[in-house]
Structure 1
């Protein structure tokens, strides 16, 4: 399937947004305070599922956005872009053998990182270093002197970048989520034609033999680093020609990365249009409203990464 057919409901729906990225964590008593205290994220919601032995924690940077309330009068994490969902499977925190797959170590590479943008990367790196945060790459390391990478408590990579200082923003933006892809022709068309995203920027790096495709629900962008809800697809040249090559999707063992999520006003119509257009070429697990938790669906992209689809007024 080439994903050539454009689904008009996705292309034309102004309510579509790249809502959240889900990461599994070992211990919420460590990970949630890390994102709150080191980066200033706000915990919008916690939802426990005792019957399935897991909890969800939804965080975001609240400085530059208005967060609507849900039907219970609580902040609605599904109505915005730039939400981080941390998933805790009960008992992992007391299991000495439990480890998270961060997606960057062979043979389980796939998911790469989340990217946080700030208006003063030097000051933020100095602050994080003073707080004891572990760096994977400092500003002074390597060729690129304008980015840094730090590690969260589970070893996930967080890229730090800087948006333009003249931008009227404060603090951090949850700028992007990066996943590696095998075949850009298939993946880019999937996110454009199936989910209605736009390619914001294509950036080639000939010396290192890779290309980045930055995608999102924006038609025009003045500063790519000053926005939220960007999906970065990274293609290492040549993988598309190897029939045996595949990336780890984060949900096969060893687990780590879970999914990205798009939210919109009427997800049932979008899901129906995708099924009618592409049939069995796009796997679902589960289809719309057919899982244990209702009012959502999960589909898979060409590399097997999961994408959740939910209403933007969802109340769990």
Structure 2
């Protein structure tokens, strides 16, 4: 069986971007993220953004929660035809959004508007007045929710912001929950069912407390957490054999890429991957097995039931300066 120790975290989420010189300032200026590492390879670069907190200051990027990985294919900034799939169109839907939790959502929204940001949904739009969706430079949706910690009237403090979660749509909730809970050891923190609208939201993450109770985390607590995974299940999709979501990476039938993956890091990923292979064998869909990566042998990629990729890395991956 697999061993899930307290080193396991959801470390990062990866998005492809057209121009890092535009995307990085968007996340730094509007949300207070900092570019903590730059990794340059032949043909592409990775920019790792995160929040510089007291808890993070001595950690390598792979040991942190709440990291946003921006993947830039060299030259795309000069290609007028380049665009990404944000996952929310009428075709090739799949990935939904990332979410930033803030102290004062009204002031955050006002600052974004003053900075020229475009919105998919403002607080005043629709029935839900406590969430908003701003668009980043590539058109990815960034959900805004409020954690209310140390909230001050008419002010917002970027140092309180959290990279709260990443949302993906899933075809079969039972299969997806089995994958993330039983194979990766994540805990089901909260479930929200909307029968009238025919969908359910599942929030998962790592909670290493021995006394964790499933579905015990309320919204106020959840909004102050980092690196959660939200699964959105629309009723009945599992019954349609021809139905599938786009995983963000496929180019089949002319599909455009966008979302890349989430990354899980832990102290001993080699042993974890071996345990997965020993227990589940051919049930698993590896795109890169441990020890066989072209960039480094110290990572693996596995696909979930919908084909979304999960990267598995050590806490200290690329912790030296060789790829700065």
Q: TM-score, normalised by structure 1?
A: 0.92
Query: In the alignment, what sits opposite 2:28?
Result: 36
> How much has 1:221 moved relative to structure 2?
4.2
Query: In the alignment, what sits opposite 2:15?
Result: 23
Query: Which residue of 265, 268, 271 maps to 1:269?
Result: 271
> How much has 1:281 moved relative to structure 2?
1.3
Q: Give the Cα–Cα distance (whole angstroms) in 2 for the partners of residues 183 and 230 of structure 1.
A: 19
- Say which SS state the counterpart of residue 275 (structure 2) adopts: helix
Query: In the alignment, what sits opposite 2:84?
Result: 100
Query: In the alignment, what sits opposite 1:72?
Result: none
Query: Which residue of 210, 225, 228 maps to 1:227?
Result: 225
RMSD value, Cα:
1.6
Query: In the alignment, what sits opposite 1:9?
Result: 3
- Say which SS state the counterpart of residue 101 (structure 1) adopts: coil
Q: Do 2:104 and 2:148's aligned partners in 1 also have CA atoms closer than 8 Å? A: no
> How much has 1:226 moved relative to structure 2?
0.3
- Say which SS state the counterpart of residue 284 (structure 1) adopts: strand
Query: In the alignment, what sits opposite 1:259?
Result: 261
> How much has 1:166 moved relative to structure 2?
5.3
Query: In the alignment, what sits opposite 2:154?
Result: none
> How much has 1:57 moved relative to structure 2?
0.0
Q: Do 2:2 and 2:272's aligned partners in 1 also have CA atoms closer than 8 Å? A: no
Structure 2 gap ranges (5+):
152-156
Q: Do 1:63 and 1:171's aligned partners in 2 also have CA atoms closer than 8 Å? A: no
Q: Does 1:300 align with 2:303?
A: yes
Q: Does 1:155 align with 2:158?
A: no
Query: In the alignment, what sits opposite 2:283?
Result: 281
Q: Give the Cα–Cα distance (whole angstroms) in 2 for the partners of residues 30 and 49 of structure 1.
A: 20
Q: Give the Cα–Cα distance (whole angstroms) in 1 for the partners of residues 304 and 81 of structure 2.
A: 31
Counterpart mapping for 1:86-97 below 5 A: 86-97=70-81
Residues 147/64 of structure 1: CA separation in 2 closer, same or farther (3 Å cut): farther
Query: In the alignment, what sits opposite 2:317?
Result: 314
Q: Do 1:34 and 1:153's aligned partners in 2 also have CA atoms closer than 8 Å? A: yes
Kindly report structure 1 stretches of 4+ aligned residues shifted beyond 4 Å: none
Q: Give the Cα–Cα distance (whole angstroms) in 1 for the partners of residues 68 and 202 of structure 2.
A: 21
Q: TM-score, normalised by structure 2?
A: 0.89
Structure 1 gap ranges (5+):
1-6, 70-75
Query: Which residue of 189, 196, 211 maps to 1:200?
Result: 189
Q: Give the Cα–Cα distance (whole angstroms) in 2 for the partners of residues 124 and 95 of structure 1.
A: 32
Deviations 1:73-129 (A, max 9, x none): xxx211110000000011111111111000101211000000000110011011111
Matched positions, count: 300
Query: In the alignment, what sits opposite 1:3?
Result: none
